[in-house]
Amino acid sequence: SVDHAAFKARVLNQYQNKGWVIAAGFGDSSTDFEAYAQVGLEASSVFALQRQGEGACLSGAWAYCFNSWSAQRVHLETWIQNDQKGATLD
């Protein structure tokens, strides 16, 4: 069986080892959220995207569930402008 979360975490670790700072994560899969947690990304910086036709985002450690890419734009612009300091998505 393939461990998708471990694969994704390895890829993220490769970026980190090259000096990249991962400030936020986006995903629509529980394995996305697991991989972000494995590389130390705080749940408050992880954003879930609801899959089309689904009633909710998949489970995992994330700050907010968006029902579309366009729905998350305004919230994320605010989050970025506040440099992640105390910004909420509510």
Q: What is the pLDDT of residue 77?
A: 77
Q: What is the pLDDT of residue 2?
A: 87
Q: How far apart are CA 70 and CA 51, in angstroms?
A: 13
Is residue 87 in a domain? no
The number of folded domains in the chain is: 1
CATH number at residue 56: 3.40.50
Is residue 32 in a domain? yes
| Tens digit of each residue's pLDDT, the chain (90 residues) | 789 999 999 999 999 999 999 989 999 999 999 999 999 999 999 999 999 999 999 999 999 899 887 777 777 777 777 765 554 555
Q: What is the pLDDT of residue 74?
A: 75
Is residue 18 in a domain? yes
Domain containing residue 9 = 4-81
